[in-house]
Structure 1
């Protein structure tokens, strides 16, 4: 567990930041139970009250979930994601509508700013999707599909947009899993071709078409 002994000043804020960083880095994936309070306090070199206050703050922000008698669990990868989970709930339409907005703009920017290295990563990610689909491995396809869309957003080379989308990780994963379970394994061929060609308008249109199709199939006519 990559935790460093904290300084005296601002102990709670430092503990909050270290826990947040460990979650963001994947040291504690979503669903993981954190070490006991006493163990965290010893690792950080602070009192248990400091750890308790930091955990309380992160639980309020939606990053952690305290289950009485069971422990503290990671609820989301970021506060943004935690807030979105509370707002979106299980409303698939709302998640798909937000994805449409972000992914269309991400695809547009990716077509303009992608590098040769970006294209190689995108092609590898699409190959992973295709391999999972051929194997009829829905869990693998869900992971590969999510990875492809996240990569498109990173290829936009807009840090703010990428961070916003990263905050959607859990709800995007859930929406992909829901649509895949319904029998829809979306093809990325047209989207990748448009990004490869540097055609921003076509890339945005391809991204919109994918989400519009999912909206129609799973929630009725797209709004």
Structure 2
């Protein structure tokens, strides 16, 4: 005798399917997932099932709903996702000070461990950041800025640093956007600071790289206090 599929079981199945799209990397951290109608078509289920499956992943810290924009991948790990959810309520200064502790050490490690591929990535992202800022494309330049700092952490070749930094990315992005909205047209691009930081890493100078990262983030904290 065939038993009908229980609704809760169906939600669990769809939740597992969506979680796999995230953890497999098909939906990378920071990207927007397909829309509700698209997910309905992909899974062959109803909208209510999709809503509850997505909500389960929001509670797990893997997804984040953004009003008027869509649903985005917050993390590909339940552990770092839960951490990201906790950090979402942190004060801007606390986030910057946490970044200061992480970015300074990561910059020094990157200067010691960067590979030719890392150098190419850093140069490309630095140029992309510079070009987008010059074009006045604020949203894209913010994303390029975040990608550059994440690439520096990745060049440290410390997997734990990268995972922890990824858990910070949503709140870092929120902090940058909030500051820009509060000071329209006033936020400096910090192009020289980023160029010196990247060049120190390329030169393999860990002391200079850590100093540049320290000075840059200290200036952000000072600006926040001002």
Q: Please tell me the TM-score bracket, short chain as reference.
A: 0.7 to 0.9
Residue 121 (structure 2) pairs with residue 113 (structure 1):
no
Whole-angstrom CA distance in 2 between matches of 1:143 and 1:48? 31
Deviates more, 1:83-92 or 1:194-203: 83-92
What is the Cα deviation at residue 168 of structure 1? 1.7
Whole-angstrom CA distance in 1 between matches of 2:206 and 2:29? 36
Residue 219 (structure 2) pairs with residue 213 (structure 1):
yes
Whole-angstrom CA distance in 2 between matches of 1:34 and 1:98? 35
Whole-angstrom CA distance in 1 between matches of 2:221 and 2:82? 23
User: Residue 22 of structure 2 is aligned with which of 20, 23, 31?
Assistant: 20
In structure 2, relative to structure 1, the CA distance for the partners of 1:137 and 1:48 (3 Å cut) is closer
> How high is the TM-score relative to the length of structure 2?
0.72
Whole-angstrom CA distance in 2 between matches of 1:36 and 1:206? 45
Structure 2, unmatched stretches of 5+, are 1-11
Give the conservation status (yes or no) of the 8 Å contact 1:28–1:34.
no
Residue 198 (structure 2) pairs with residue 192 (structure 1):
yes
In structure 2, relative to structure 1, the CA distance for the partners of 1:112 and 1:213 (3 Å cut) is same
Encode CA deviations 1:153-182: one digit per residue, 9 max, x unaligned. 111111221121122221122223344554
Encode CA deviations 1:49-69: one digit per residue, 9 max, x unaligned. 9977754542321334689xx
Whole-angstrom CA distance in 2 between matches of 1:76 and 1:14? 15
Deviates more, 1:188-197 or 1:136-145: 136-145
Q: CA RMSD in A?
A: 3.6
What is the Cα deviation at residue 195 of structure 1? 0.5
Deviates more, 1:52-61 or 1:150-159: 52-61
In structure 2, relative to structure 1, the CA distance for the partners of 1:209 and 1:57 (3 Å cut) is same
Whole-angstrom CA distance in 1 between matches of 2:177 and 2:16? 36
> How high is the TM-score relative to the length of structure 1?
0.73
Give the conservation status (yes or no) of the 8 Å contact 2:27–2:73.
no
Give the conservation status (yes or no) of the 8 Å contact 1:179–1:214.
no
